[in-house]
Amino acid sequence: MDWLELAESLITSPWLYAVLIAVSCLDSFLPLIPSEAVVIVAGVYAAGGQTDIVLVIAATAFGAFLGDLIPYVAGRLLGLRVLRRLPPGTKRRAAHDWFARELEARGGFILVTTRFIPVGRYLATLSTGIVGYPLGKYALFVGFATATWSAYTALTGYLGGVVFQEDTLLGIAVGVGLAFVVTGAIEAVRYIRRRRSAVATETVVD
């Protein structure tokens, strides 16, 4: 299915918001669904008054929240089975226990930042369920994460639409470009943090 073509064909229809719910929900566990691009397009058209930016954000956040519950629930259902295959003392069990401790210490930070990283969001939500992270805390942090991700993505498109009102395609291109730049910056910061942590660990060991 061409989600972008479908969204543009419904740009003045209330059904657009159903498409936004569906695409953002599916993108939470299906990597090839282009949710960001679809939301950005809806944001660009909101600048011209053809869509409602508040409804675009709300529909996207709602769909993403529902979608993030699916891998979490799957992880909870698989948790005991996975744990049986991770004998104490193995490296895989150590990694499992480490992630559980990291979530306990900084679950909000992990869930919010990984929401902006396509591959990261799938791994984080599934793994969070597998280690048995509490549903209440998960829902709270994921609710905030999906709301901020939705607002950022839609407003990125809206900004492109405001600046390039005479050229919709250019506005969409700028919106997608801004999204890539911000996502890349987040990933760069995470990489630097990982490198510093690794260096610090090596220094302590030495």
Coil, helix or strand at residue 188: helix
How much of the chain, in percent, has pLDDT values that exceed 90? 23
User: Which tens digit of pLDDT belongs to each residue from 187-196?
Assistant: 566 567 656 6
Residue with tokens 């675009």: 56
Q: At what angle do helices 135-163 and 35-47 cross, to 10 degrees?
A: 50
For residue 127, the model assigns a pLDDT of 84
For residue 104, the model assigns a pLDDT of 81
For residue 205, the model assigns a pLDDT of 45
Mean pLDDT value of segment 49-56: 92
- Band (204; pLDDT cuts 50, 70, 90): very low
